[in-house]
Amino acid sequence: MSSNELNDLFERNRGKDRYTQPDFYGIDDLLTEEQLLIRSSVREYVKRDLSPIVEHFAQLSEFPQHIVKELGSIGAFGPQLPAEYGCGGMDYTTYGIIMQELERCDSGIRSTASVQGSLVMYPIFKFGSEEQKRKYLPKLASGEMLGCFGLTEPDHGSNPAGMTTHFIEDGDHIILNGAKMWISNAPFADVAVVWAKNPEGKVQGVIVERGMPGFSTPTTHNKWSLRASATGELVFDQVRIPKSNILPGVVGLKGPLTCLNSARYGIAWGALGAAMDCYDTAKRYSLERQQFNKPIGGFQLQQKKLAEMLTEITKAQLLVWRLGQLMDHGKATPAQISMAKRNNVDIALNIAREARQMLGGMGITGEYPIMRHMMNLESVVTYEGTHDIHLLILGMEITGLNAFE
Ligand code: TGC
Ligand code: FAD
């Protein structure tokens, strides 16, 4: 999109975002001044720079590439990682708050940030060599570089252990072959953290750079969901990569699964943001829209929907606030994270569907964000572990019996 077209969009849509966050139980009282300050500055950025353009990019099914540097400059990439690598040095609650504000605008924009922070920067930070950290983290934090995370394959989604992407050794290089599918950010990524089997059949992380011969990133087209986020494949055809690009700190599936803990945590906060935006939009509409000579918000059936939405939002707020505390103290378990991801995406999807109905015909248009949130959440409920996979992770925690075997 040309800069003239962008300016035109800003002119037309400036000031239209009237979002007010629900806080029925005074949960803001549990946040620090710094957390509240960061939230209001991200919210201001979203209202000023993202809300006016996001619907248009989603309608075009185009990734607003120019926002990568903006997200870097507001500290949305790896805010929970240490400042010595150019990252935010903040706590996990702050990370969650930032994801919530971004997904309040659009799940695809949160995806861009959470893939970069939790699935690209985090593995480099946690499992990378000092040289890898110094080389990549500052550029990823600033948005000078965009990254993606390749775990899922065409035939191995919920069961990544079955992956067939693999490498062999060739002196001080490796040769990588295989393919990854459904990869967020792939078409624009400068680097990919790719999980592949080594010659012993064990999973290892490899940093693959755009431009390496044999590496391509075809775009996935025809999505009805996450249309403002770019999704693609990663194809490796005899890609020759220096051994120094292997993440030395982890061998085995626990490597990628550890990264997923951080990303799923961010999604639990993020999806709640989408839910809050749907609730806030439906509430305002119900007070403005008149039928049968009164605001539709005066009808009991509409009030039931709003009351149930607010109840679910409030429960979900408490869930992520407490999970944030556990994350900050290094005590959160994968099953606790699964519960929050599963619950908060589920309630968000239900709230989006109910809110859509409350707007009647207007609910299906791009004049309001609800239908876009609803379609986005259909991906969010599937990626980072499907709704049912998280139920089975919880079931295993409860019973000690593994349903995957
Ligand atoms: P299993 O045998 O249970 O475990 C293998 C090893 O991993 C360890 N582990 C974990 N470690 C850290 N965190 C976790 N959450 C972990 N879960 C398991 C485990 O202790 C074991 O370690 P070790 O030392 O004994 O080897 O593994 P399994 O093959 O039976 O699979 C379990 C299952 C099904 C839960 C797992 O495969 C799973 O979570 N599947 C879902 C796949 C998934 O979530 N894919 C996400 C792809 S990335 C994505 O969607 C990004 S979207 C981004 C966006 O746009 O926002
Ligand atoms: P499948 O695993 O084939 O599952 C199909 C159905 O079977 C699901 O309902 C599932 O719950 C069910 N099922 C599977 N196993 C069981 C079982 N044992 N018991 C009961 N039911 C089961 N991946 C990445 O690696 N990186 C990314 O950046 C990324 N971004 C994505 C972006 C989008 C827009 C989407 C849609 C996906 C993305 N993914 C990414 C992939 C995502 O993680 C997978 O789609 C997800 O893990 C599910 O895998 P699958 O699609 O192959 O479904």
Model confidence over 353-403: pLDDT tens digits?
A: 999 999 999 999 999 999 999 999 999 999 999 999 999 999 999 999 999
What is the rounded average pLDDT of the residues 28-51? 98
All CATH 1.20.140.10 domain ranges of the chain, comma separated, are: 254-399
Q: Which residues, 6+ apart, have CB-to-CB distance to 36 below 8 Å?
A: 28
Ligand 2 center to 307 CA (angstroms): 33
Nearest to 116 by CA among 189, 45, 43, 49: 189
In the prediction, which pLDDT does 1 show? 80
Q: What is the pLDDT of residues 231-262, one digit of tens each?
A: 999 999 999 999 999 999 999 999 999 999 99
Q: Which atom of ligand 1 is nearest to the CA of 338?
A: 15
In the prediction, which pLDDT does 121 show? 98
All CATH 1.10.540.10 domain ranges of the chain, comma separated, are: 3-142
Q: Which helix (H) or strand (E) holds 215?
A: strand 215-216
Q: Is 384 known to be catalytic? A: yes
Ligand 1 center to 395 CA (angstroms): 15
pLDDT at 25 over 90: yes
Ligand 2 site, residue 187, Cβ cutoff 6 A: no
Give yes or no for a contact between 303 and 46, defined as CB atoms under 8 angstroms apart. no
Rg for the chain (alpha carbons), in Å?
21
Taking 3-state DSSP, the helix, strand and coil percentages for the chain, each rounded to the nearest 5, stand at: 55, 15, 30
Q: Which atom of ligand 2 is nearest to the CA of 152?
A: 25
In the prediction, which pLDDT does 2 show? 86
Domain 147-245 has CATH 2.40.110.10: yes
Ligand 1 site, residue 254, Cβ cutoff 6 A: yes
Please name the amino acid found at residue 284. R
In the prediction, which pLDDT does 240 show? 98
Q: What is the pLDDT of residues 297-318, one digit of tens each?
A: 999 999 999 999 999 999 999 9
Please state which CATH number belongs to domain 3-142. Answer: 1.10.540.10
DSSP assigned state of 367: T
* Residue of minimum CA distance from atom 31 in ligand 1: 159
What is the rounded average pLDDT of the residues 271-282? 98
Angle at 349 between CA 346 and CA 355, to 5 degrees: 135
In the prediction, which pLDDT does 134 show? 98
Alpha-carbon distance of 272 to 39, in angstroms, equals 14
Ligand 1 center to 94 CA (angstroms): 25
- Mean pLDDT for the chain? 98
Q: Which atom of ligand 1 is nearest to the CA of 229?
A: 55
Please name the amino acid found at residue 380. V
Alpha-carbon distance of 172 to 303, in angstroms, equals 66
Give yes or no for a contact between 255 and 271, defined as CB atoms under 8 angstroms apart. no
Alpha-carbon distance of 345 to 351, in angstroms, equals 10
In the prediction, which pLDDT does 150 show? 98
Hey, CA dihedral for 304, 307, 313, 319, is it positive or negative? Answer: negative
Ligand 1 site, residue 389, Cβ cutoff 6 A: yes
For residue 232, list its beta bridge partners.
Answer: 183, 219
Q: Which atom of ligand 2 is nearest to the CA of 220?
A: 34
Query: Could you give the 3-state DSSP secondary structure of residue 360?
Result: helix
Nearest to 256 by CA among 194, 207, 335: 194
Q: Which residues, 6+ apart, have CB-to-CB distance to 4 below 8 Å?
A: none
- Find where tokens 């720079």 sit: 49
Ligand 1 center to 402 CA (angstroms): 13
What is the rounded average pLDDT of the residues 104-109? 98
Identified catalytic residue from 70, 312, 384, 405: 384
Which ligand sits closest to the CA of 405? 1
Domain 254-399 has CATH 1.20.140.10: yes
Give yes or no for a contact between 334 and 363, defined as CB atoms under 8 angstroms apart. no
The rounded percent of the chain whose pLDDT value lies above 70 is 100
* Probe target for ligand 2 pocket from 114, 151, 152, 227, with the most ligand atoms within 8 Å of CB: 152
What pTM was computed for the model? 0.98
What is the rounded average pLDDT of the residues 140-159? 98
Give yes or no for a contact between 52 and 13, defined as CB atoms under 8 angstroms apart. yes
Phi, psi of 29, deg, nearest 5: -65, -20
All CATH 2.40.110.10 domain ranges of the chain, comma separated, are: 147-245
Q: Per-residue confidence at 325, pLDDT binned at 50, 70, 90? A: very high
Q: What is the pLDDT of residues 285-299, one digit of tens each?
A: 999 999 999 999 999
For residue 192, list its beta bridge partners.
Answer: 148, 208
